[in-house]
Every structure is written in C-alpha cells, then in structure tokens.
Homo-oligomer: A and B are copies of this chain.
C-alpha cells in the first residue's frame, strides 16, 4: 500500500497530468523510474551519534574562546546573490554551487564565510566589529571523505573589522588560533606565516611583471605538495618566466624559520630593503613580533616564504596551521599510481591545513564601491578553523574511548513485579518520568505497557545510563520507589527504597556522587585524560 502511494506521488511529481490516473495505471508505469540511490549527495554526509557529540564539543570550545575575545555571533543565509560571490575566488570560482534559475534573483551557495561577512559589514555600514560564525560552506571539489575533505563542510570563523593600529588585531587572531588548538588538546601544530606585501615585493625583485604576480603566487603555493623543480618548471614552461627569475624566486621562497630569524635575514638583504613593498611588510612584521612575544605565542609561528594562499582578497599577513597529519604519507605517489579510483583520493593525501586566514583590507570596500556606497576602507583580518579536519584528528582519539555516549540519558524508569495480568504501570511510569523531566533530568523508559525486567535493563544498558528508578508492583502502592545503580559492577545491588516524594532530592544527590565536579566526557577527550 505504501509502495503504491509512493509510486503514485513520484509520478505525480514528474508530471502533473498523471495526477488523476488510478493506482492501477500507476502500477503499469516503468519500474526504473522508481529506483534511485538512497544516499546523501556526493561529498556530503550525515552527522549523528557520537560524532555529533564530539563535533558539538568542538563548536562549543571554540565559540567560548571567540566570545572570550568579545565577538558577537553572526549567521548569514546559506545562499547569496550570485553577484556578491563573483570575482572573489580566482580560479576556484568554478567550484561555486549555483541555485537553479526558478524565476527571481540568481543565487549561489556560499563558498566561505568571509565574503558573506564582508557583504554584511558593507551592507550595514559597520565601522568596526568582531564576529564569529560557525556554519557549512559549499565547494564542488573532488571529495576525499575519510580525510575530511568534503563538498559540504563546516567552517568556524573569527574576524576583526575596523580601522585599528597596525598588527594588533592580527596578533590577537593568532592568539585565538593557539588558544583554540590548545583547548582541543592539539599541541603538535605549527602556524606557517607569510606576508602578501613581502611575497609581492620578492616577485618584483625577481623580475615578475605585475600582471603575472597572482599566477606565480599560485605556483609557489604548491611548494608544500610539490618539489621545487616541479614548481620551477611550472613557472618557466607554463607561466613564461625566465630561468633567472625563477631561480631568484627560489632563493627566497626556500627561506623559513622563526619569525625573528627570517626577519633578521631579510633585513640584511639590500634588495629587500630597497623594495618598497618588502620593506613595508618587514616593518609591519617587526611590530607584529613585539605583540606575539607579549602574547607568548611566537614559538608556534614559522615564517615561511613559500606560503602564498590561493584567494585573491588577501593583502597582509597570511597563515596556515598544519600538524603532522597535514602532510601526505611518504608513499603517497606510489599509492596514487596503484589507486584505480579517482573518486576518493583520501588514501594518498594528508588532511592539509587545519586552520588558515589572513588580512584582507579591501574586500568590504569592494562591496561598498561596487554598489555606490561610500564607506571608506574597512580593513579586516580573520581566521578559519577547518572543523572536519580537526574532527577527524580528534575522532581518532575518541575511537579508543567508549565513554562518550550519543545520548545524555541519566535515569531509566522501570516497573516490575507483576504477573501476566498486571497492567505494567505505564501511566505511572509516565508520571514519574514527567517529574524527572520537570526537574531537568534526562530520563527514558521503555515504550511498552508491559515490559519484562530483562528488556528494561537491556534498554537501559544500551543507552549506558547510570541510574534506574524502579516502580515495584507492591512498593509503588506504598508510595515507595527503588533507586538503583546500573552497570555490571552493581548487578547484585538491589538499590535503595525511598519515599516517592523524595525522588528528585535522592536522584540529584546520587547523580552528583556519580558525576561529581568532573569534566564531562568530551572535555576529557580534548584534554587527553
């Protein structure tokens, strides 16, 4: 019956003319129309059970840090007017998902949270704001699911907009990165940092023409995955630079080390000091070093001249956070050759960067000017945590840990003691559960009027909850309830018989004995306890 109805509705959807045909006619419709894959779209997934608990723990940990730094929460629509996204993502614009033209405005799904933020600031003439935003973004990319590279994935962004003194908001953003990863128990991370002005200046020094800068920049950006020879070849063969230019770029982009070291090396380079852009970038970094030293986070930062970042809108410092798991495995190339499937590249890639960001001083202004508003420049700097990638790192820890439960249930209400003809006390169990719910206590019971004791204990075990409240057939008539610890170590314990009127007091007392002041399971997981 359900099958027939469904088929009927499906056909009705496909063609409105079929609406009035009988279900006998519907039966004759070709069967192939009804068969479709029961799956989520490619590159997307459902979040459920323990995964959601861990993910929500990550969100809560990071958002409490953002709030700690004075941020408001912002939430923008999942799609924007298509014009808003146009021209912001360079070569990656082809990865934007468009909504079908069904009449009305042309829209596209957001590609990141930065452009919607800049749109919000420009649209509302905001002069300064700190905001965070945790939401999904959309890219029609080749997914690598097990490594956390998805087409629909979460970003978790914090940004500071406003005309402030140089490098203070930038240093605070880096501090938030360090606080964020530390709070999640991720300690072996490194922040690779560079400055767009320094990079652009170096390209000038090496003889790259202005109009070639962005494409040479994107070649340099591949140095974390490809050897120098391959990148040099791309510059010379594909992107029309001379050998000499490529070699001069090579000298610089191989430089990396502590902020202080690399700053000192560059400051002794006469070409660098003679170039206006490089000089300006170095001066800004000198100020920046002073602040990150005060914040005691300089040891996490590696000044890496090969970092370029693909997006068009960056104008100042740029950075990426990497861990050991970010790099591809050593035998990646081999695995790649063996692999027959190009669908899931997860076998031979690392998780990539687990956070990234930078300064983008012109983006808000672009919106303001393109729409005829005069807002003046609103400089911005921000960070984005890659939640899926961070999740996949933490998940590995959680897999060894059975203590994280998908539900929060604390009490299972049971009834037993009667024979076959006994009612099973279902309305009575409901009354007891209702009292516990009203007291804010997570409570379940078996959805059956007559359930045998075994089935009730099994259900309680399955959800892993620590306490049972039992309505005994005779005891309940005397206004008594039984409170009993659950779990194999309490199998022989009959629990405690209490007055029904004391239920909430006793249960709260027992729960505080069980949980005490201990951190919850997810916090323990983050702390590696």
- Nearest Cβ on chain B to A181's Cβ, whole angstroms: 14
Work out how many copies of this chain go into the complex.
Answer: 2
- The answer to whether A48 and B74 touch (CB under 8 A), given A5-B366, A448-B164, is yes
- Nearest Cβ on chain B to A291's Cβ, whole angstroms: 6
Q: Quick one: CB contact mask for A33-61 with B, threshold 8 Å, 1 for yes? A: 01111111110111111001101100000
Whether the pair A102, B107 counts as a contact (CB closer than 8 A) is: no
| A524 at the B interface (CB under 8 A) | no
- Nearest Cβ on chain B to A492's Cβ, whole angstroms: 27
Whether the pair B294, A38 counts as a contact (CB closer than 8 A) is: no
Whether the pair B102, A101 counts as a contact (CB closer than 8 A) is: no
Whether the pair A447, B168 counts as a contact (CB closer than 8 A) is: yes
Which residues of A (64-85) have their CB < 8 Å from a CB of B? 64-65, 67-81, 83-84
Whether the pair B9, A377 counts as a contact (CB closer than 8 A) is: no
Cβ contact of A75, chosen from B39, B52, B64, B367, cutoff 8 A: B52
Q: Quick one: CB contact mask for A10-29 with B, threshold 8 Å, 1 for yes? A: 11111000001010000000
- Measured CB to CB, the nearest residue on chain B to A20 is B211
- Chain B residues near A72: list those with CB within 8 A: 48-49, 52, 406-407
Whether the pair B105, A67 counts as a contact (CB closer than 8 A) is: no
Whether the pair B93, A98 counts as a contact (CB closer than 8 A) is: no
| A408 at the B interface (CB under 8 A) | yes
Whether the pair A99, B102 counts as a contact (CB closer than 8 A) is: no
Whether the pair B434, A295 counts as a contact (CB closer than 8 A) is: yes
- Chain B residues near A437: list those with CB within 8 A: 65, 68-69, 175, 179
Cβ contact of A431, chosen from B22, B79, B295, cutoff 8 A: B295
Which residues of A (345-390) have their CB < 8 Å from a CB of B? 362, 365-373, 377
- Chain B residues near A79: list those with CB within 8 A: 41, 44, 152
- The answer to whether A296 and B426 touch (CB under 8 A), given A41-B105, A74-B46, is no
Cβ contact of A38, chosen from B102, B119, B407, cutoff 8 A: B119
| A515 at the B interface (CB under 8 A) | no
Whether the pair B444, A70 counts as a contact (CB closer than 8 A) is: yes
Whether the pair A39, B123 counts as a contact (CB closer than 8 A) is: yes
CA distance A107 to B98 in the complex (A): 11
Q: Which one of A2, A49, A373 has the greatest number of beta carbons of chain B within 10 Å?
A: A2
| A104 at the B interface (CB under 8 A) | yes
| A131 at the B interface (CB under 8 A) | yes
Whether the pair A78, B152 counts as a contact (CB closer than 8 A) is: yes
- Nearest Cβ on chain B to A161's Cβ, whole angstroms: 11
Cβ contact of A37, chosen from B73, B371, B434, cutoff 8 A: B371
Cβ contact of A74, chosen from B52, B119, B370, cutoff 8 A: B52
Q: Interface size class for chain A?
A: 35 or more
Q: Quick one: CB contact mask for A316-345 with B, threshold 8 Å, 1 for yes? A: 000000000000000000000000000000
- The answer to whether A122 and B3 touch (CB under 8 A), given A48-B72, A441-B68, is no
- Measured CB to CB, the nearest residue on chain B to A465 is B70
- Measured CB to CB, the nearest residue on chain B to A97 is B99
CA distance A34 to B154 in the complex (A): 31
Which residues of A (425-458) have their CB < 8 Å from a CB of B? 426-428, 430-431, 434, 437-438, 440-444, 447-449
| A239 at the B interface (CB under 8 A) | no
Whether the pair A2, B46 counts as a contact (CB closer than 8 A) is: no
- Chain B residues near A36: list those with CB within 8 A: 81, 83-84, 370-371
- Chain B residues near A7: list those with CB within 8 A: 370
- Measured CB to CB, the nearest residue on chain B to A48 is B74
CA distance A53 to B72 in the complex (A): 9
| A312 at the B interface (CB under 8 A) | yes
Besides A46-B74, A69-B443, 16 other CB < 8 A contacts? A3-B369, A14-B86, A36-B371, A38-B123, A41-B81, A42-B104, A44-B79, A47-B73, A67-B407, A67-B408, A78-B152, A79-B152, A97-B100, A99-B109, A172-B447, A294-B428
Q: Could you show 23 A-B contacts with beta carbons less than 8 Å apart? A: A1-B362, A2-B362, A2-B366, A36-B370, A39-B81, A41-B79, A48-B72, A48-B75, A48-B131, A52-B73, A65-B437, A70-B443, A70-B444, A72-B407, A78-B78, A78-B138, A102-B140, A168-B448, A175-B434, A179-B438, A294-B426, A295-B431, A295-B434
Instruction: List 10 tightest A-B contacts by C-beta distance, closest first.
Output: A9-B87, A294-B427, A44-B77, A164-B447, A6-B366, A47-B75, A98-B100, A2-B362, A36-B83, A70-B444
